[in-house]
Amino acid sequence: MTGKMDLTREHKQFGGMNRFYTHESKACNGPMNFAVYLPPAAVGLSPSRKFPVLYWLSGLTCTEEIFMTEGQVQAYASQHEVIIIVPDTSPRRTGIPGEDDRYDLGSGASFYVDATTPKWKPHYQMDTYITQELREVVESELPIDQNQRGIFGHSMGGHGALVLGLRNPELYHSISAFAPIGAPMKAPWGILAFSEYLGTDQKAWEGYDACHLLRRVSASGNLKNLAPLLVDQGSDDEFFEKELFTEDLKSAIKETGYPGKVRGQGGYDHSYFFISSFMEEHILFHLKNFQSAAKA
């Protein structure tokens, strides 16, 4: 475990508690922030009872606070007794030249990869941070049931949820996403980020592209080990054609026979108005899969 969880503030909501923390991260070589929502039954609870947990990964430019204020998750998390964990989208104030120059690279734009290029590698280890370090920190301190763990996200964070979920089937028992970057190796956002963080060898990019990952796992015969997936995509999303490549993801799912569902939602855009409209359905999707896994 790395870094003590230092509480910076808290706000009561729907009987539960929004808490904001900072801690020192070895993976990212500096301070990292994250937010937690605890349903009422988990506030001040003895550790004898554990709760399902969902890790939310936000999109470009977001912090750990945006989802907590705009996602409208708390009412449903309170009702269904789920703990929500929301990390920041990148390290901050690292001193890397140019880290704040663009909205789609550096601060707020980690793409949830473990960087390998000399410029970004010392701090941008977000795969390791999310799947190992943060997970170990919160699950040692909070009443979390490690057998009911899911991951979900939006846009860049939807991409993150897809690839981290697919790369770590032993950790995540359910995956969902809102308007994810489904084929980042074809998307201008993804090409820029992967070139900077992972270098120019595109073979190295394939490990963080959901379409390539699905085909790789399918070819290995291990598709049955993957968690079920739900994706929602708005028909009026301004990034649909240029950046998200949802149809490529749908094709990979169909081609491999992966238990994933991509739903089109008429009239919705890329915003949190869209996300909040289907938030409860995603929470119930995860809970249903946790119950199915427990019976298996």
Give the DSSP letter of residue 51.
E
- pLDDT given at position 296: 65
How many other C-beta atoms are found inside a 10 Å radius of the C-beta of residue 252?
A: 21
- pLDDT given at position 236: 98
Beta-bridge partner residues of 271: none
Alpha-carbon distance values, 101 to 15, 61, 91, 107, 278 (Å): 40, 12, 15, 9, 33
Rounded distance between C-alpha atoms, residue 4 and residue 21, angstroms: 10
Rounded distance between C-alpha atoms, residue 211 and residue 58, angstroms: 20
Residue-wise pLDDT tens for the chain (296 aa)?
Answer: 345 899 999 999 999 999 999 999 999 999 999 999 999 999 976 667 899 999 999 999 999 999 999 999 999 999 999 999 999 999 999 999 999 999 999 999 999 999 999 999 999 999 999 999 999 999 999 999 999 999 999 999 999 999 999 999 999 999 999 999 999 999 999 999 999 999 999 999 999 999 999 999 999 999 999 999 999 999 999 999 999 999 999 999 999 999 999 999 999 999 999 999 999 999 999 999 999 877 76
Rounded distance between C-alpha atoms, residue 197 and residue 149, angstroms: 28
- pLDDT given at position 47: 63
Rounded distance between C-alpha atoms, residue 28 and residue 9, angstroms: 23
Q: Which of 154, 159, 212, 270 is catalytic?
A: 270
Task: Please report how many Cα atoms fall inside a 13 Å half-sphere around the Cα of residue 289, on the Cβ side.
Answer: 23
270 is catalytic: yes
Q: Which of 155, 209, 212, 232 is catalytic?
A: 155
Residue 68 burial (C-beta neighbours within 10 Å; 0-12, 13-18, 19+): buried
Rounded distance between C-alpha atoms, residue 82 and residue 51, angstroms: 6
Cβ neighbors of 78 (< 8 A, separation 6 or more) are: 13, 14, 15, 16, 39, 40
Q: Which of 173, 237, 282, 286 is catalytic?
A: 237
Task: Assign a CATH topology to domain 6-295.
Answer: Rossmann fold (3.40.50)
Tokens standing for residue 240: 């649909």
Rounded distance between C-alpha atoms, residue 191 and residue 205, angstroms: 9
Beta-bridge partner residues of 153: 57, 177
Where do we find the tokens 């910076």? 8
